[in-house]
Amino acid sequence: MPALTTPLPAALPSNTTIPGLTRRRVWKAPEVLSHSLVVLTFPRLYLAPMTGEPKPETVAAIENGADVESVLGSLATAIDLIAVERVRHELLTNTLIVEYRAAAAGKTRAVIRFAGAEAADAAFSKLWRRLGDEYRLKPFRPDPWVVARGPVAAILAVFAATAVLALGLNALEDLAAARYSELAGRLPGWQFVCAVGGAAAAGVTVWLYRRLTRPPERLDLVRDR
């Protein structure tokens, strides 16, 4: 009787690569304002100069695995991700600034402007994922004192003006001399001045709170040294 043999299991897919990590990501004009095409591959970031909206067949060829450098031509900028030192995301202008070291030019930068926040955020997050764990995120927050200096100065000015006016009006009301009675009747009372000053101080306090709790204006992705 022939020996029974157990069939070998089918080969399992490799777990060494995160699913989707090697997939090409493409952003094109008009969602990109500074370039006609931005292509992110596993090892590089490609930037094609702005020549208008790219042809659909060009985009399809890149997404289907064609050689990116051959499709984009010699005018495209190729950035090795291993050479990237910093990526800055300017949140207010939907701009990515990629600082990297080029073999010929040394330390240089590429500026990528997007039409909207959604595309800019997606490009930043995909690029961060490709760069890996060697990079850490640094949200930019200005010095709290620099932010608060204007509102604090305004609050102090409101308090000082309110105190001076209230004390002056209170003194006029307390004067018994007849020559001051007509003038005192025409001026607002010190209670009114205090109420107006308090409302102004409250408004400035809200301004201060908004400035101190405002979200960061940019994000810095920096390589750990």
pLDDT at 157: 79
SS3 letters across the chain: CCCCCCCCCCCCCCCCCCCCCCCCEEEECCCECCEEEEEECCCEEEEEECCCCCCHHHHHHHHCCCCHHHHHCCCCEEEEHHHEEEEEEECCCCEEEEEEEECCCEEEEEEEEECCHHHHHHHHHHHHHHHCCCEEEEECCCCHHHHHHHHHHHHHHHHHHHHHHHHHHHHHHHCCCHHHHHHHHHCCCHHHHHHHHHHHHHHHHHHHHHHHCCCCCEEEEEECC
Distance CA 159, CA 170 (A): 16
Q: Note whether 44 and 105 are same-domain residues.
A: yes
Range of the domain at 73: 25-132
Q: Note whether 128 and 155 are same-domain residues.
A: no
Please count the structural domains in the chain.
2
In a domain, 4, yes or no: no
Would you say residue 15 has pLDDT above 50? no
Q: Note whether 119 and 149 are same-domain residues.
A: no
The tokens for 68 are 């990116």
Summarize pLDDT for 54-83 with one digit per residue, the tens. 999 999 999 999 999 999 999 999 999 999
In a domain, 137, yes or no: no
Q: Note whether 128 and 169 are same-domain residues.
A: no
65 or 140: whose pLDDT is higher?
Answer: 65
Please classify residue 221 by burial: count the beta carbons closer than 10 Å to its beta carbon, then call 0-12 exposed, 13-18 middle and 19+ buried. buried
**pTM across the whole model:** 0.63
Boundary-marking domain end, from 132, 152, 184 = 132
Summarize pLDDT for 144-184 with one digit per residue, the tens. 666 566 667 777 777 777 777 767 666 666 664 445 555 55
